[in-house]
Amino acid sequence: MTFKSYFARYNKLIQKKPLITNMITTGMLFGSGDILAQTLFKGPNENNSSSFDLARLLRAVVYGSIIFAPIGDKWYKLLNKIKFPSKRINSTAKVKLEPVLHVSSPKPSIKDTILRVTVDQLVFAPFIGIPLYYTVMTLFEMETPILDTISNKLSLNWWNTLATNWLVWPIFQLFNFYLLPVHYRLLAVNSFSIGWNCYLSYVLNRKDIGTQLHIDIVPDPKPDGGNMIF
């Protein structure tokens, strides 16, 4: 099958069953990002191919399909309703003409697009997307103590991840929100996200950072070593 035929099939599925289609594609693309991370960024004790972590890959796929896809689907539909305040003139006359004149959704204005990107980057990224990822993935890993581990990962990685996010996503989202219909936006984000998911997976699974955090918060059990280890 050609790419054109695959896209035609996807187009039918995304219109008939948008949520299920987004869940499947998002899970696959999150998994692709984790495979890339495991392949490109191996730790000091991961020198051969036998060290591939299948459980880690499954966690990424489950997070992408079950957790992120439904939230992302709802979020992009919500963002599409956000519009820059403007005065309406002859609104009653326009209501009668719209069904005839606007068969398809018109391209959003530049003002609406900038507003949507701003809301996405100042609300979703710092307060939903990034905290959700580190929290849920840490819960999946069952690292104990769970609350301390989540707190440490967020305090260590939240700002760096957000700053990197702001270097990558605003320009892409401007094109995404301005050029693509709302039902294609999550697919576009997820396709572009293969590299981003690779970065997130790498940051989440850095063993050297996790070990250092564990050492810092666990006191020396020896009687003559009551101080914290730094």
Longest dimension (CA), the chain: 85
> Quick one: pLDDT band at residue 95, thresholds 50, 70, 90?
very low
Of 10-19, 34-43, 104-113, 142-151, the one with minimum mean pLDDT is 104-113
- Judge whether 225 lies within some domain: no
Kindly state the average pLDDT of the residues 203-207: 80
With beta carbons less than 8 A apart as the criterion, state whether 213 and 229 touch.
no
pLDDT exceeds cutoff 50 at 98: no
pLDDT exceeds cutoff 50 at 73: yes
- Judge whether 220 lies within some domain: no
Q: Give the residues across from 228 on adjacent strands.
A: 219
Count of alpha carbons within 13 angstroms of residue 212, beta-carbon side: 8
With beta carbons less than 8 A apart as the criterion, state whether 70 and 147 touch.
no
- Judge whether 93 lies within some domain: no
What domain count does the chain have?
1
Kindly state the average pLDDT of the residues 60-76: 94
Which pLDDT score is estimated for 79? 92
Q: Which domain holds residue 196?
A: 3-42+53-84+105-214
Give this prediction's pTM. Answer: 0.75
Which residues are CB-contacts of 72 (< 8 A; sequence separation ≥ 6)?
Answer: 22, 26, 186, 189
**Residue type at position 80:** N
Which pLDDT score is estimated for 193? 87
- Judge whether 230 lies within some domain: no
Indicate the burial class of 80 (C-beta count within 10 angstroms; 0-12, 13-18, 19 or more). Answer: middle
- Judge whether 137 lies within some domain: yes
> Quick one: pLDDT band at residue 87, thresholds 50, 70, 90?
low
